Structure 1
Amino acid sequence: LEQNKICPILGYFQCENTTICIPQQNNCDGKVDCPGGSDEVIGCDDRAKDDYWDHQFKKRPSALNDHLAHICNLSYNGSCVCRGRDLLCGHKNMVKIPGDLPADNITLLDFEGNNFGVLSGNVLEKVPLFVEKINFAHCNIDELKPHTFHQLTHIHDLHLDNNDLKTFPSDLFPESNNLRLLSVTHNHISRISSDAFRKLRALEELDLSGNKISEIKREVLAPLAKLRLLILRNNQIRYISNSTFPQLPLRKLSLIENRIDRLDPGAFANLTQLQELYLTNNRLVHLKNGTFFNLSQLLVLFLGDNFIKTIEVGVFIDVLNLTSLTLERNQFRTLDKKVLAPLTILQHIYFDRFELCESALHVRDCEPKGDGISSQYHLLDSIVLRTSVWIIAAIGCTGNLIVLLGRLLAPTNNVVHSLYLRNLALSDLLMGVYLFAIAIADQHYRGDYLRYQYSWRHSYVCNICGFLSTLSCESSVLILTLVTWDRFVSVTQPLARKQPSPKTAAFTLVVLWSIAAAVALAPLSEGYFGDEFYGNNGVCLPLHIHEPYAKGWEYSAAMFMLVNALALTFICYAYMRMINEIIASGVACRSTRQSQERDKVAQRFGIIVFTDCLCWVPIIVVKLVALAGYPIPKDLYAWLAIFILPINSALNPVLYTLTTTVFKKQ
């Protein structure tokens, strides 16, 4: 309440020990905005993220004492390596336990990488009784016999990871045991006996990751009265009902990388002490009210990498103590502000689009802060982008207007070629108009873009901007190809070729403009394209780099990859042929002046090929890399949109008109 009195505007947060308020996006962004730097300290360390990755990638048991490489605290001279109170007997092709192990004081017996095959009480009879931890990882174990661990009453940790177990039988452990950690990851277990864990009353951590478990049986988990951590990552579980889990004192539950597509209301109701729930990388589509019923102590919830399309308004009403929520890489594009409103103490929330932070203005740290082009604060986030867009727009419009006026007013001997270049200038002029529109929109929304981003991206103005940029790109590509063809035939077949009439040339241009217009207009219809084909980002470009498989991705790929690649291939081939023809004719030419002029033409053609490649190759390559599933740096997206894509529109007037000898004379 005191916070709201000092910072009454939603989305602003108080600096510690001051009355200064800063916007949400300035918290935890790596830049100090508060006196004393409290905006980069308070609430910026999300331990939930650290815990998440710690459970994803665990250390080997023997790694805990790596710092004791040359210290042995045991009376031992056998074949195993002694490190502190650990004996490392790994990778020695053992089929049975050696008989020279010390009788007591052993903390860890590590048999990783041996070849035991079947484990039984007889195989383990020479294991000292007072060992605390045993590791049988990577030992090709495919069967556990009854009573295997009956004599090991003092063992605390047991690792059976990366073996070939298909079932986990009953009666493996003695009635009185002290087992606290059981890790049986990356086997092939599909069935667990109903009383397999009946005697493990002291077990606190159970890890069954990387198996083939398709169903969680209530009676299997029921005896685990002290279980705090249950990891079932990377199994084949599809469904969690309200009777799946018995009453357990679980603090952490990981169901990452399963096939869960349905959670019943009250699915976790018996886990009243649960604090961390990981449901990342499943197949959830809808989050319904009551899903998290009775989880009043839940602090951390991971729901990323699912297919969530809808989240009901009251779904989080049962988890009011939540401090960290991850919703990255799902399919919902908007989120009702009422969904997150009950989470008044939420400190960290993670989306894959910064625009969704509009629904979480009361959360101190909302990620991401931007997409490389726009941020929560500005449509064009970088001062470099904001300045460059005006400069490039001015250069593009000025140069192409000069070409249009110059070629309209100045006499010419080649009417058809001049007509082609006037149309090329018109198509490039549209890119300059588009850039001016984006620059003006950025100026309009400066400082408060997040509140207006949705209305802007879904406005008719943004759609018109997207239409203009696409029309400019496609018409420019088609007309450049036509100009190249005209030059190619003139140079390679100067005598056989008949110059097309102005009417024929005009008709060809009308056809090309119609094709480009149809390509640019099609995404304005919804359905296949959705309602954000152009509004996918703040600059209304359909590049779709960060979401390469968004609606209409095939169309976007065809425009920016297929058409551009074909056109670029032809243009490069044609100009290389023309350069060879010019060089060949220059060798046969006796006049030094004519030879120099031909060299200049060849040089100009080479520059044209270079600038075309400079524009199109990066876009084709980046689009291809994005479709292959590799992440694209956010800053690169901004460079493509503001610098690379419009570069031809700014350079074409210079290359095709302003620097030509004829135009300068006129």
Structure 2
Amino acid sequence: MDAVSIEIPLLIKSHRCLHYSYFIFGIRAVLVVAYLTNYLEPYYLWDFLNVHDKSPEIKFSRASATLPLGTNFKVVFRAYFDFWPRTTSFVLLDNISVTEGICKTCSPDEFRCSDKRDECIPLDKVCDLKSDCLKGEDEALCEKNISKSLCRQDQALSFQNLSRRSEPASYYETFTLDLSHNRLTAWHILSLIQILHLQHNLIVSINYTIDLGLSDAQLHYLDLSYNKIERIVNDDLAVLNNLMYLKLQHNFISYVHPRAFLKLTELIYLDLSNNELSDLERSHFIHLLNLRYLYLQNNKLRVIEGMFDGLMNIQYLQVDSYTLCCAQPKAVSKIQCLAPVNEISSCNDLIDTPLLSIAIWYMALLAVFGNLFGTCHKLLLLNKNSSTSKPFDILSINLGFADFLMGVYLYIIAGANLKFSDRYGFEDFSWRNSPLCTFAGVLATLSSEASALFVLFITIDRMLAIRFPFAMLNKKIKIAKTVSMLVWTVSFLLSLLPLFGIEYFDGYYSGSGVCISLPLSVLRKPGWEYSMVLFVGANFVIFIIVLLGQIFILTDVARFEKKSCQQSFSQKRTEIKLAKSLMAVAVTDVLCWITIGTIGFLTFMGIDVTNKVYAWVIVVVLPINSALNPLIYLLSVILNRGDEEVCSSKTDKQVQCSKYSHCRSSPCKSYLLAGCDFEP
């Protein structure tokens, strides 16, 4: 009969000790304690921990056994009974528990009754002519005719030494040596040591000597973390073929020989995190068939297709980038790969959302050709009527060109998404660090900042034009040209500043596959404070001012709407018409940047947005103004032109009627217009 435990998971740091109480009744009843690593039925017991025969008296005994290191397992209690002759036999178990560490021996002032039982008695009870151990071991070696008084002290001392000598061999086979937090530069391995702690020393290479006089090295666990190791060469670990756990995190390792782990076929756990590794290939892992836990985060690794293919039993992989997860072994169906979440990309596509990967093409089309057509049209009109040009014309032409640049940026990103389709994860690093990606990031930043500033100055121009329609027109045109040059200069400086070689901006434009560093995630990328001030702080303030300016313009428009068809307000009517054309453009810009600013403030406070929100902001919200501005402006001009024609017709009729109102003679009647409100 078997009693089988649930699966006991792998423990990384040390052994564990199984404790239990048992009572065996029956002539030939036997209890076998073992463990299983293969749970397929029928299973066989190969790995024994303890064997117990019939209990000498009706009393529970306490026992313990050190559990295996470096594997998942189940504990099995198997009872054997001899059913002939027919007898009553049974095995009772109670108080089963597991604690960390190897099973402890008795204290120096105690006597251990048996190697197979967790039973200790005080030394002064040994050879006291009374059996205190379950099977009487405390009296078994005492001379039968020696009196109690002669035996009390001397024999007790001899049994103290005997008990130490008779400890089970398994305890000697489970040595833990802790030499951490010292100043070691070299070290020696005894063949019997299984767990060795060398973390926080001054070791610069895996430089050691080893005692192989008795057998192969039995080292299972080696911790070399927090040292100064720079390289792992070919033969550094060759003789440690029983190693199961290797911890090398927080060193300065920049090179690992392709055959460095060749002999570590039993390795289960490998930690190379927080080093300076840039290249790991398939040859490094091809022989690590039993490796289950691999930690590579905080390095400078580049993904290589198939680099983890040798890890046939990998269960947990922790890395710096989701792209390394793209190289996980295809033959392993279930693997937990932990990496920072990417906001917009996946292993297959730069833009992971199918709808957005299509929408970006239409956004780019509208932004490029809409602004190109609108800007060229305005330039032609400006050349034809240069004498009647206004500051608004100059500023709106520059706004159209700024929005055109955003369309070019969108085409670059859409093209990259198409080019790297189905394998983007393996091309991510080369794309993000390419000159084209950097150029795209500069264009996006230049476009967004120039567009925001031009909308601000156009709003200010409309406010002044409505209030002072005849004031210094020529001088205002010169100011508009100067302002345009200033806006482009400031925008160029803001977009090119991250390229000046300042360490703070290292990887600024390469931090994302869309090549622009918007601070819309709680993940802090290089230069995130600069992005927060620029895209969230400054632009938020700009568009709050624009919003207030539009409210001011709307108030003036409402005030003069009824009077705008009178001849005395013809100039103001023209300025109001332009203001109304701008209003829809400005309002959509305000809504866009207030949305981005709000999300930015939330992430600054530690409240993250979902990846879907980030993707929509990048592909739709940010460039939507550039794509729709030409359409909004064209629609508003058409509507205003219709209003102007109606108003102009009414005004002309009033002027004609006023002109001929004095006529009473017959010839004058032919000039009279229908609808005049006077008698001829």
TM class by smaller structure: 0.5 to 0.7
Q: Which residue is equivalent to 2:240?
A: 271
- SS of the residue corresponding to residue 443 of structure 2 reads helix
- SS of the residue corresponding to residue 646 of structure 1 reads helix
Q: Among residues 394, 397, 418, which one is paired with 2:368 in the alignment?
A: 397
Distance 1:518 1:568, change over 3 A: same
Shift of 1:576: 3.6
Distance 1:586 1:538, change over 3 A: closer
Answer yes or no: is 1:642 the counterpart of 2:619.
yes
Distance 1:611 1:104, change over 3 A: same
Distance 1:581 1:426, change over 3 A: closer
Equivalent residues of 1:304, 1:330 under 8 A apart:
no
- SS of the residue corresponding to residue 645 of structure 1 reads helix
Per-residue CA deviations over 1:142-168 (Å, capped at 9, x if unaligned) read: xxx984887798559xxxxxxxxxxxx
Answer yes or no: is 1:568 the counterpart of 2:536.
no
Answer yes or no: is 1:242 the counterpart of 2:214.
no
Q: Distance in 1 between matches of 2:112 and 2:642?
A: 98
Alignment of 1:1-40 (within 5 A): none
Per-residue CA deviations over 1:43-63 (Å, capped at 9, x if unaligned) read: xxxxxxx978x659x9x999x
Q: Which residue is equivalent to 2:656?
A: none
Q: Distance in 2 between matches of 1:664 and 1:254?
A: 81
Q: Distance in 2 between matches of 1:152 and 1:643?
A: 78
Distance 1:220 1:580, change over 3 A: farther
Q: Which residue is equivalent to 1:501?
A: 476
Per-residue CA deviations over 1:287-315 (Å, capped at 9, x if unaligned) read: 33389467431444534541324448798
Answer yes or no: is 1:611 the counterpart of 2:611.
no
- CA RMSD across the alignment: 5.9
Equivalent residues of 1:421, 1:656 under 8 A apart:
no
- SS of the residue corresponding to residue 478 of structure 2 reads helix
- SS of the residue corresponding to residue 316 of structure 1 reads helix
Q: Among residues 353, 377, 383, which one is paired with 2:321 in the alignment?
A: 353
Alignment of 1:614-629 (within 5 A): 614-619=595-600, 621-622=602-603, 624=604
Q: Among residues 280, 284, 298, which one is paired with 1:330 in the alignment?
A: 298
Per-residue CA deviations over 1:120-144 (Å, capped at 9, x if unaligned) read: xxxxxxxxxx99869799xxxxxxx
Distance 1:174 1:293, change over 3 A: same
Q: Which residue is equivalent to 1:284?
A: 252
Answer yes or no: is 1:482 the counterpart of 2:453.
no
Q: Which residue is equivalent to 1:159?
A: none
Per-residue CA deviations over 1:305-348 (Å, capped at 9, x if unaligned) read: 4132444879838955465574543342536789x599586867
Distance 1:302 1:441, change over 3 A: same
Equivalent residues of 1:471, 1:519 under 8 A apart:
yes
Q: Which residue is equivalent to 1:385?
A: 356
Per-residue CA deviations over 1:524-561 (Å, capped at 9, x if unaligned) read: 566748996544444333448789666xx22x641453
Q: Distance in 1 between matches of 2:332 and 2:539?
A: 49
Shift of 1:612: 2.1
Answer yes or no: is 1:441 the counterpart of 2:450.
no
Q: Distance in 2 between matches of 1:582 and 1:148?
A: 95
Alignment of 1:246-257 (within 5 A): 248-253=217-222
Shift of 1:606: 6.2
Equivalent residues of 1:320, 1:342 under 8 A apart:
no
Per-residue CA deviations over 1:438-491 (Å, capped at 9, x if unaligned) read: 223333343454565565445444343233222212222332333344456668
Answer yes or no: is 1:471 the counterpart of 2:446.
yes
Q: Distance in 2 between matches of 1:360 and 1:135?
A: 35
Unmatched segments (≥5 aa) in structure 1: 1-49, 66-71, 75-102, 109-129, 138-144, 157-170, 181-199
When Rg is computed on C-alpha atoms for both structures, the one with the higher figure is 2
Equivalent residues of 2:446, 2:494 under 8 A apart:
yes
Q: Distance in 2 between matches of 1:394 and 1:149?
A: 87
Letter in 2 for 1:505: A
Equivalent residues of 1:380, 1:442 under 8 A apart:
yes
Letter in 1 for 2:592: T
Q: Distance in 2 between matches of 1:134 and 1:306?
A: 33
Q: Distance in 1 between matches of 2:365 and 2:407?
A: 7
Letter in 1 for 2:246: L
Letter in 1 for 2:207: N
Q: Distance in 2 between matches of 1:573 and 1:148?
A: 84
Equivalent residues of 2:191, 2:218 under 8 A apart:
no
Q: Distance in 2 between matches of 1:655 and 1:244?
A: 78
Which structure carries more strand by proportion? 2
Equivalent residues of 1:416, 1:502 under 8 A apart:
yes
Q: Distance in 2 between matches of 1:536 and 1:509?
A: 31
Equivalent residues of 2:268, 2:292 under 8 A apart:
yes
- SS of the residue corresponding to residue 378 of structure 1 reads coil
Q: Distance in 2 between matches of 1:590 and 1:621?
A: 41
Q: Distance in 2 between matches of 1:178 and 1:391?
A: 78
Answer yes or no: is 1:418 the counterpart of 2:387.
no
Distance 1:279 1:505, change over 3 A: same
Distance 1:465 1:346, change over 3 A: farther
Shift of 1:277: 2.8
Per-residue CA deviations over 1:324-382 (Å, capped at 9, x if unaligned) read: 574543342536789x5995868676643355579888876796899453444334333
Q: Distance in 2 between matches of 1:242 and 1:327?
A: 23
Task: Indicate the percent of aligned positions where both proteins have the same amino acid.
Answer: 19
Distance 1:213 1:383, change over 3 A: same
Distance 1:636 1:147, change over 3 A: farther
Q: Which residue is equivalent to 2:275?
A: 307
How many pairs are equivalent?
498
Per-residue CA deviations over 1:155-195 (Å, capped at 9, x if unaligned) read: 59xxxxxxxxxxxxxx9x96655798xxxxxxxxxxxxxxx
Letter in 1 for 2:599: P
Alignment of 1:205-224 (within 5 A): 213-214=181-182, 222=190
Q: Distance in 1 between matches of 2:311 and 2:167?
A: 44
Per-residue CA deviations over 1:592-612 (Å, capped at 9, x if unaligned) read: 999xx9999999676653332
Equivalent residues of 1:397, 1:433 under 8 A apart:
yes
Letter in 1 for 2:615: A
- SS of the residue corresponding to residue 446 of structure 2 reads helix
- SS of the residue corresponding to residue 565 of structure 1 reads helix
Letter in 2 for 1:565: G
Q: Distance in 2 between matches of 1:415 and 1:397?
A: 25
Q: Among residues 511, 514, 517, which one is paired with 2:492 in the alignment?
A: 517
Shift of 1:509: 1.0
Letter in 2 for 1:643: V
Distance 1:461 1:51, change over 3 A: farther
Distance 1:592 1:504, change over 3 A: closer
Equivalent residues of 2:374, 2:400 under 8 A apart:
yes
Q: Distance in 2 between matches of 1:343 and 1:244?
A: 30
- SS of the residue corresponding to residue 352 of structure 2 reads coil
Alignment of 1:150-161 (within 5 A): 155=118
Equivalent residues of 1:484, 1:571 under 8 A apart:
no
Equivalent residues of 1:248, 1:270 under 8 A apart:
yes
Distance 1:511 1:390, change over 3 A: same
Letter in 2 for 1:353: S
Unmatched segments (≥5 aa) in structure 2: 1-7, 24-58, 65-93, 120-160, 566-575, 645-680
